[in-house]
Amino acid sequence: MKMSNFEKVHYKSKKAMESLQQYCSDSDESNQNVDEDLSQVNDSSEKPEYFGLFSSDLSENYDRHSKALAHQCSDAIGKTSDKEHEFHKNVPSFSKVTVGDETVSIDRPQSSFWNDIQTSDVKVDINNKEKASKRTWTESKKSKYDIKKKSCNVDYGKSKSIQTVNNCGQIDFSRKIYYIHSKITPMLHTKTSRCRIPFKVEWTNPGHQGVTNRIEWNIPSYSHLLVSCSLDTTVKVWSMWSQLEPCVRQLRVHDRAVRDVQWSGDGRQLLSAGYDKIAAITDVEKGNAVCRFHHPDYVTCSRFHPILPQQFVTGTSSCITLWDSRTADRPIRTLTYKDKFGQVQDVVFSRDGSQLFSCSDLVQGYNLGFDISPDGGTVYSASSDGQLYCYDFQSGRHYRTLSTGLDVVVDVACHPVLPSTLATCAWDGTVQVWH
């Protein structure tokens, strides 16, 4: 039976689809199904509807477009298997270049621009690449080590520079000691409450190998730090309420016994007086002496001026000397009395710094200290019988005695912020904190 033009176009389109499926599919079953469908089309006398697109009322203009579409499908099938197709021209080709002892593959697209470039024009620096890779690996390894070391510093306080000491174990000079302790923070900006008499020992430490002569708390912001000095020639800084080693600094700035020590106004330096005839200002963080002041006799006491932070006084035999830390080679002024009054044991400034009070050693016995509670209501006095005596500031009445268990209580220091907290030191070197 003679086929119409439309049926011929339809038949060719089907043949094109058959060729395309054979090209893309490896399944024999799929090819068999295509043959059955084409045979059904050839035997059928009806035109497939295809959703009404190929109905009998289509014009001859549409037939012409159908023929053109069939030719385009046939051309596309033939060109797909051709390696010289335009699509392959954009696919990069690989050129091999020998650099040193290695062969490197370089992507070079097939275009007029890249064809003009020779493989010899392409330079690859293998050595720099290896160096960069090695440097990156080294830096990565180093950074991991630094992170581990920093985390170790934060969590456990391990040190970079370690100084071996007697009772303090290992001193870590990289350990952070200046911060506001969580126990101090709530009390810094509150009104001083009424101080009660402490009744138990909160912390005790052997302290020094000799007599502990003086103890003092730091300024309120850093009042978790306690300093002590001893006849064993050392000055020790203690960090209270810490789970780490309590002794954070052991300072050796004197050759002989240290008689007195005091914190500076900013809490970061210490003024100490010793039997080596020297008064020294020490940087606590660095652990070394900033400047030394030489005297003709033993230096038994020292105090910073409350208003002028660069000035301080020292006490020696029948003499009080005023110094300025900016001129360490000579004193500003020397105060004497017409009679000899012995070794100056203690000095204290008035609150405005205009007056100075001192006491001397006229009798034999222990040099004992005392302190007043922050609320001004109680006076605590050390004693040679190992007791701590409490007196009412207004009436002078003795109303409480604390048994410390020490042989001789040499000094006592009330905490500047925490009520009912004080520290004591003993003749055998022990340091205690009461609460």
**pLDDT single digits (tens) 93-130:** 545 545 455 555 555 555 554 555 554 554 444 444 44
What pLDDT does residue 324 have? Answer: 95
What pLDDT does residue 129 have? Answer: 44
Work out how many domains the chain is built from and give that number.
3
Secondary structure (3-state) at 168: coil
Asked whether residue 316 is domain-assigned, the answer is: no
Last-in-domain residue among 60, 82, 104: 82
Residue numbers of the chain with a pLDDT score lower than 50? 26-27, 30-31, 34, 38, 41-59, 79-92, 94, 97, 99, 113, 119, 122-167
Asked whether residue 250 is domain-assigned, the answer is: yes
Last-in-domain residue among 103, 121, 139: 121
Could you tell me if 172 and 289 lie in one domain?
yes
Core vs surface per residue 334-345: b (16+ CB within 10 A) or e: eeeeeeebebbb
Asked whether residue 303 is domain-assigned, the answer is: no
Could you tell me if 38 and 95 lie in one domain?
no
What pLDDT does residue 42 have? Answer: 47
Could you tell me if 285 and 393 lie in one domain?
yes
Helix axes 5-24, 28-43, angle to 10 degrees: 180
Could you tell me if 182 and 215 lie in one domain?
yes
Asked whether residue 131 is domain-assigned, the answer is: no
Residue numbers of the domain that contains 269: 162-294+363-434
What pLDDT does residue 339 have? Answer: 84
Nearest to 17 by CA among 42, 34, 39, 4: 34
Asked whether residue 171 is domain-assigned, the answer is: yes
Asked whether residue 156 is domain-assigned, the answer is: no
Asked whether residue 170 is domain-assigned, the answer is: yes
Asked whether residue 155 is domain-assigned, the answer is: no
Terminal CA-CA length for the chain: 120
Could you tell me if 375 and 425 lie in one domain?
yes
Do 343 and 358 meet the contact criterion of CB atoms below 8 Å apart? no
What pLDDT does residue 106 have? Answer: 52
What pLDDT does residue 15 have? Answer: 72
CATH code assigned at 198 = 2.130.10.10
For 172, counting Cβ atoms within 10 Å of its Cβ (0-12 exposed, 13-18 middle, 19+ buried), the class is buried
Could you tell me if 113 and 217 lie in one domain?
no
Could you tell me if 215 and 257 lie in one domain?
yes
Could you tell me if 403 and 276 lie in one domain?
yes
Which single residue is written with the structure tokens 């209501």?
377
Could you tell me if 66 and 207 lie in one domain?
no
- Rounded to whole angstroms, the Cα distance separating 61 from 260 reads 117
Could you tell me if 184 and 113 lie in one domain?
no
Residue range 273-296, pLDDT digits in tens: 999 999 999 999 999 999 999 999
What pLDDT does residue 112 have? Answer: 53
**What does the block give as tokens for 85?**
């197709």
Could you tell me if 167 and 98 lie in one domain?
no
Could you tell me if 373 and 232 lie in one domain?
yes
- Rounded to whole angstroms, the Cα distance separating 417 from 324 reads 30
Do 381 and 388 meet the contact criterion of CB atoms below 8 Å apart? yes
**CB 402: neighbour CB atoms within 10 A?**
21
